[in-house]
Structure 1
Amino acid sequence: MLKLYKLLKPYTLYIVVSLVLIFLQTTSDLYLPTLMADIVNSGVMKGDTDFILKTGGIMLLIAAGGAVCAVISTFLSAKASVGLGRIIRDKVFARVEGFSLHEFDRIGTATLITRTTNDITQIQQVTFMIMRMMVSSPLMAIGGILLAYSKDKALTGVLGIALPVLALTIFLVARKAMPLFKAVQVKIDKVNLVLREKLTGIRVIRAFNRMEHEGARFAEASLDLTNNYIKVNRIMAFLMPTLMLIMNLTTIAILWYGSIRIDQGRMDLGALVAFTQYAMQIMFSMLMFSMMFIMVPRAQASAARINEILNSRPDIEDPRQPKTVRELRGLVEFKNVTFSYHGAEQPALNDISFTAKPGEVTAIIGGTGSGKSSLVNLIPRFYDVDSGSVLVDGLDVREISQGELREKIGLVPQKAVLFSGTIADNIRYGKPDASGEEIREAAEVARAAGFIAEMKDGFETLIAQGGTNLSGGQKQRLSIARALVRRPEIYIFDDSFSALDFKTDAELREALKKETLQSTVLIVAQRIGTVMDADQIIVLDNGSIAGTGTHQDLLTSCEVYREIVSSQLSGEEIA
């Protein structure tokens, strides 16, 4: 956690001023019982009303000053702790943005959300408590003990017995509670995971009538978290009455022993009043300090989880001296590429070699799990190859900065992803400075202009989160328009026509030919009708190339391709 506290540097002045104010507030709180003792001894006992009013006025001024110091220091502490939370969130978000897909697969989306929200909130809250209590509590305890000792040395022996008992109780409870607090974050991860799966997969869950099953899964995760909190609360429920019992017994012992000393003439009444207040201040400060020791371990667990993110080095990083592509063409080459997913027993791709040229359409087809999407994900460097190389315009993609590489690519993913906002905003996502005319042209080519025109607000129609107010085909066409408006050198269509009917598919591919004459086009598809007109078809089978050529070439030379064709087309259509 100390590593994260280095990020508080911009708030150094706030922290220093806050600590000074906390010191002044604590000093004022410690001085008040002494003034109360003076009022009792010199005012009440002697019947001196003027002294009572005068000293009472001083007490009010000191209390008001302490209150002002408390308010300002609380404001500054809150500003510093919230600022730390913002800095950590920004750094975590920036780090996660640089993760390759390997890191997302390894760490998991649910825990990343928990770490960015709940964990950082824990650190933020504990930071505020540290600035408020970690300083004031020890000052209050030490100052209270010294002042109590100055009032009556013999009576301090009562505190010498009570404080170790109080400290031992706090220690035993904290030791029991700390592991439970550390387990909370992991259990929150589990709840988030189940809830996220339930929300994103609600249609599948309802379609298969698995609501009760998913409800039971969530209830199990939620119950696990609840039981953990109940255990913590039981311990804390035991702690508070026990501490109050010790504090009340201590007060009784002080009053009993103090009355004996007053009766013996060894102590005055004002000193006893002051001593009692100091005893309460000491024990309350220890109670507050103990809460810190209970909360800090939970924050430390959160800090460790955040540091795991901040300390992780992405698998994919820009080269120290990236090369710049001088000739802008979009030539894509695979040379003996082998690639495996993290933890996989077998490579997803094995010894892949081919060239995709500008002005040509290269189609990739194969059975489910043959490695089609894995192949195209290597071009924008979402993953790095195990061996071999992927080249764009003659340069290995690992030698080019990720920003420059991806500027050359227009990707339409297998699952159409849209963002909340207008239709125009989503198309403009591919080119932030795109004009209205460019957006309309892209929509026209993508065959999206028709359904957009039928909408009440046209291009200003709002898209719901995840595009839930659009059909699958509409989302795919908007994703294609988003890539088209960019006018990249390399187009990658990863099974991007699957939700379209055959007529729209054919019209769209015909329109794309005119727009992509100078670009390299790679199409991943399941339909033979989508790829049969391609200049080059690559057939994948279990991660290896089973054949390369045109439709007619492959019909005679590639058994895998013939099987795919025969499964989709009739004998007359093949002929």
Structure 2
Amino acid sequence: MIKTLMGSIREYKRDSFLSPFFVMLEVVMEVLIPLLMAKIIDEGVVKQNMNYIMRMGVILIVLTLCALAFGIISSRFSASASAGFAKNIRKDMFSNIQKFSFSNIDKFSAASLVTRVSTDVVNVQIAYESIIRVAIRCPLLLIFSLVMAMSVNFQLSLIFMAAIPILGIGLFLIISRSQPIFQRVYKVYDRLNNVVRENIRGIRVVKSFVRSEEENRKFQEVSQEIYNDYTKAEKIMAINGPLMQFTVYTCTLLISWFSANLIVSNVMTTGELTSMITYLMQILTSLMILAQIFTMLTIAQASGDRIVEVLGEKSNLNSGTLSIETVPDGSIEFENVSFSYQEDSDKLSLRNINLMIHNGETIGIIGGTGSSKSTLVQLIPRLYDVTSGVLRVGGIDVREYDLSLLRNNVAMVLQKNELFSGTIKENLRWGDENASDSELERVCKLAQAHDFISALPDGYETVIEQGGSNVSGGQKQRLCIARALLKKPKILILDDSTSAVDTKTDAMLRQAFKEEIPDTTKLIIAQRISSVQDADRIIVLDAGGINSFGTHEELLGKSQIYREIVQSQTKGAKVDETE
């Protein structure tokens, strides 16, 4: 884990080194101050030597100012290093997530990824800042103070030596018991974020079904679980305080007792006693702060493990090794293709698919819910890889293409259309960032979107709100189709992406596709027979296999499933006309 995370330090190595360097100088100044104070007491105050007091006082002020300056400089470097470290981790995580295939994304929930990129990174950032400053300062202060205490009085310093292992054992037991609880807490955090995310995204549904109380209950249950775990962990960690206080008070009493006897025997001076007590406080304060840091590191370790999971996840889709520069055409061939989301041959979503689709054809795809229509088309741009068999585009196995080349030639409008915050122009230019205004208008006319865009107050400069909440479902679908057309693809896939438009607009879209992009292979998944009956051929899927493949007329004669769909929709249309 540490090695992986340290790879994100990069350009902040200098700051990460300078912070502990100035911390070390700060500690040197701090451990010299008690020794100097002891000399002021013994040589100046006791002997009433004002010149000595003034001279040593100036040196004491200089040391104090130096300690302050070194501390400020160290803090600046640690803040820069930790913030930069966190920035790089976020960048590395986000970049790696962008490379994920759909199966990689399925492994992590969206809520979990958001938590890891935000909350977990903040925990690691705070821990890193503590490591390069406080976690360096405390051991150094402990060691230097112990050395100085031994130089003042070796016998009394043995009290410190006895206290350190007692505290160490106590800290180990506390951390070993609390660590598993913190790891569990962050898994529950993922569930909490998922509840919040679902509720916010579906707030209209929640309110329309009057489910606010139920959603509140779900949130409270998860929140209570986090509270219970955190409380349990914090109760264990709270033992740190009493353990530290007991050690501090015991050491103070022992040093005071033995020092009093030594002072009476003239073996030790009052100044040396003062310095010993100061070193005692420095040592035990360092241990106390280290205990708090261990608590923080315990939490950060759980976060670090979760971050490394994302950084270490490798996409199972890799670009081909052949130097193919273009996709020859939009022909598609499935040869004995089977597919499973779990990569389990006993749990296949598609079975033995054999298809030959010619360049420029319009292919309709129809079937019942769960017949794997979307799964079939998602294999074409390699959103998933086939489990067995071969899928060819332009006569070449899709696994041999560079992923970017293949996907730039396959435009896909998914079932769940997504628009992003920004203007309509900015959303459209996802298809081609260099497209001219006239080109934008052309594809929008082709997608039957130009008229409603022109009717908006700001036209193509209209700002789309988050998730496209200020446009209707049909408008969103047409904008997404226009965005896909802007890629000038060799293959256009519409995955039930005209379901929210009326039948007239749907017919106009199909007519425009036929006239304007005759050389583009078009695959149209639809629930309405009217959307696919004019296609060159239609695929009927059933339970992950091909039931029939042919024209509308051919399927009426040979496919019972197709006939039943046609009859049910035709009967419904006749009833509507009667009414």
Q: How much does 1:495 deviate?
A: 0.6
Contact (CA 8 Å) 2:412, 2:484: kept in 1 or not?
yes
Contact (CA 8 Å) 1:325, 1:393: kept in 2 or not?
no
Which segments of 5 or more consecutive residues in structure 1 lack a partner in the other structure? none
Query: What amino acid is aligned across from residue 502 of structure 1 in structure 2?
Result: T
Tell me the secondary structure at the aligned position of residue 154 of structure 1: helix
Alignment of 1:80-99 (within 5 A): 80-99=81-100
Equivalent residue number for residue 133 of structure 2:
132
Taking structure 1 as the reference length, the TM-score comes to 0.95
Alignment of 1:140-289 (within 5 A): 140-289=141-290
Tell me the secondary structure at the aligned position of residue 305 of structure 1: helix
Contact (CA 8 Å) 1:325, 1:395: kept in 2 or not?
no
Equivalent residue number for residue 341 of structure 1:
341
Give the distance between the partners of 1:471 and 1:326, measured in 2 at CA. Answer: 35
Query: What amino acid is aligned across from residue 503 of structure 1 in structure 2?
Result: K
Contact (CA 8 Å) 1:410, 1:490: kept in 2 or not?
yes
Deviates more, 1:231-240 or 1:212-221: 231-240
Q: How much does 1:2 deviate?
A: 2.3
Give the distance between the partners of 2:325 and 2:159, measured in 1 at CA. Answer: 78
Equivalent residue number for residue 330 of structure 1:
330
Equivalent residue number for residue 445 of structure 1:
446
Equivalent residue number for residue 73 of structure 1:
74
Q: Does 1:357 align with 2:358?
A: yes
Q: How much does 1:355 deviate?
A: 2.3
Equivalent residue number for residue 509 of structure 2:
508
Query: Could you say what the CA RMSD is over the residues aligned between the two structures, in angstroms?
Result: 2.0
Give the distance between the partners of 2:503 and 2:305, measured in 1 at CA. Answer: 53
Deviates more, 1:96-105 or 1:294-303: 294-303
CA deviation digits over 1:22-72, x for unaligned, max 9? Answer: 111110010000111111112221222332222122111111111111111
CA deviation digits over 1:290-333, x for unaligned, max 9? Answer: 23333323323222222222222222111233534463x21122
CA deviation digits over 1:63-94, x for unaligned, max 9? Answer: 11111111111221222222222222222212
CA deviation digits over 1:505-531, x for unaligned, max 9? Answer: 122222222221121111111101111
Give the distance between the partners of 2:57 and 2:169, measured in 1 at CA. Answer: 38
Q: Does 1:59 align with 2:60?
A: yes
Query: What amino acid is aligned across from residue 545 of structure 1 in structure 2?
Result: I
CA deviation digits over 1:543-568, x for unaligned, max 9? Answer: 11111111111111211110110010
Distance 1:326 1:539, change over 3 A: closer
Tell me the secondary structure at the aligned position of residue 335 of structure 2: strand
Contact (CA 8 Å) 2:145, 2:279: kept in 1 or not?
yes
Q: How much does 1:226 deviate?
A: 1.3
Equivalent residue number for residue 2 of structure 1:
2
Equivalent residue number for residue 432 of structure 2:
431
Give the distance between the partners of 1:39 and 1:184, measured in 2 at CA. Answer: 53
Query: What amino acid is aligned across from residue 77 of structure 1 in structure 2?
Result: S
Contact (CA 8 Å) 1:42, 1:51: kept in 2 or not?
yes
Deviates more, 1:267-276 or 1:226-235: 226-235
Q: Does 1:546 align with 2:547?
A: yes
Alignment of 1:368-379 (within 5 A): 368-379=369-380
Distance 1:341 1:214, change over 3 A: same
Q: Does 1:49 align with 2:50?
A: yes
Tell me the secondary structure at the aligned position of residue 154 of structure 2: coil
Give the distance between the partners of 1:333 and 1:62, measured in 2 at CA. Answer: 80
CA deviation digits over 1:140-178, x for unaligned, max 9? Answer: 111111111211223224334443443343333333322
Equivalent residue number for residue 560 of structure 1:
561
Deviates more, 1:214-223 or 1:526-535: 214-223
Deviates more, 1:543-552 or 1:272-281: 543-552
Q: How much does 1:343 deviate?
A: 6.6
Tell me the secondary structure at the aligned position of residue 477 of structure 2: helix
Give the distance between the partners of 2:173 and 2:364, measured in 1 at CA. Answer: 68
Deviates more, 1:178-187 or 1:58-67: 178-187
Tell me the secondary structure at the aligned position of residue 356 of structure 2: strand
Contact (CA 8 Å) 2:320, 2:403: kept in 1 or not?
no
Distance 1:464 1:9, change over 3 A: closer
Give the distance between the partners of 2:7 and 2:551, measured in 1 at CA. Answer: 61
Q: How much does 1:571 deviate?
A: 9.9
Give the distance between the partners of 1:16 and 1:369, measured in 2 at CA. Answer: 57
Query: What amino acid is aligned across from residue 217 of structure 2 in structure 1?
Result: A
Give the distance between the partners of 1:238 and 1:104, measured in 2 at CA. Answer: 41
Contact (CA 8 Å) 1:40, 1:269: kept in 2 or not?
yes
Contact (CA 8 Å) 2:327, 2:409: kept in 1 or not?
no
Give the distance between the partners of 2:514 and 2:50, measured in 1 at CA. Answer: 100
Distance 1:182 1:56, change over 3 A: farther
Tell me the secondary structure at the aligned position of residue 271 of structure 1: helix
Contact (CA 8 Å) 2:409, 2:487: kept in 1 or not?
no
CA deviation digits over 1:395-428, x for unaligned, max 9? Answer: 0101101100011112111111101111111111
Tell me the secondary structure at the aligned position of residue 155 of structure 1: helix
CA deviation digits over 1:439-465, x for unaligned, max 9? Answer: 112222222122222222111111111
Equivalent residue number for residue 468 of structure 2:
467
Tell me the secondary structure at the aligned position of residue 390 of structure 2: strand
Equivalent residue number for residue 367 of structure 2:
366
Query: What amino acid is aligned across from residue 309 of structure 2 in structure 1?
Result: E
Give the distance between the partners of 1:85 and 1:9, measured in 2 at CA. Answer: 11
Equivalent residue number for residue 577 of structure 2:
none
Distance 1:322 1:225, change over 3 A: farther
Give the distance between the partners of 1:571 and 1:188, measured in 2 at CA. Answer: 48
Query: Percent of counterpart pairs with the same letter?
Result: 40
User: How many residues of Structure 1 are paired with residues of Structure 2 in the alignment?
Assistant: 573
Contact (CA 8 Å) 2:237, 2:295: kept in 1 or not?
no
Distance 1:166 1:387, change over 3 A: closer
Query: What amino acid is aligned across from residue 554 of structure 2 in structure 1?
Result: D
Query: What amino acid is aligned across from residue 355 of structure 2 in structure 1?
Result: F
Q: Does 1:418 align with 2:392?
A: no
Distance 1:333 1:422, change over 3 A: same
Taking structure 2 as the reference length, the TM-score comes to 0.94
Give the distance between the partners of 1:572 and 1:15, measured in 2 at CA. Answer: 72
Give the distance between the partners of 1:380 and 1:353, measured in 2 at CA. Answer: 17
Contact (CA 8 Å) 1:37, 1:273: kept in 2 or not?
yes
CA deviation digits over 1:478-528, x for unaligned, max 9? Answer: 111111222211111111110011122122222222221121111111101
CA deviation digits over 1:358-388, x for unaligned, max 9? Answer: 3321111111111111111011110111122
Tell me the secondary structure at the aligned position of residue 243 of structure 1: helix
Equivalent residue number for residue 535 of structure 1:
536
Q: How much does 1:241 deviate?
A: 3.8
Distance 1:266 1:538, change over 3 A: same
Give the distance between the partners of 1:121 and 1:12, measured in 2 at CA. Answer: 19
Tell me the secondary structure at the aligned position of residue 341 of structure 1: coil
Give the distance between the partners of 1:183 and 1:158, measured in 2 at CA. Answer: 39
Q: How much does 1:251 deviate?
A: 2.0
Contact (CA 8 Å) 2:343, 2:387: kept in 1 or not?
no
Which segments of 5 or more consecutive residues in structure 2 lack a partner in the other structure? 575-579
Contact (CA 8 Å) 2:337, 2:391: kept in 1 or not?
yes
Tell me the secondary structure at the aligned position of residue 352 of structure 1: strand
Deviates more, 1:518-527 or 1:56-65: 56-65
Tell me the secondary structure at the aligned position of residue 364 of structure 1: strand
Distance 1:551 1:89, change over 3 A: same
Give the distance between the partners of 2:165 and 2:57, measured in 1 at CA. Answer: 35
Contact (CA 8 Å) 1:446, 1:508: kept in 2 or not?
yes
Distance 1:560 1:250, change over 3 A: same
Deviates more, 1:495-504 or 1:105-114: 105-114
Give the distance between the partners of 2:49 and 2:267, measured in 1 at CA. Answer: 23
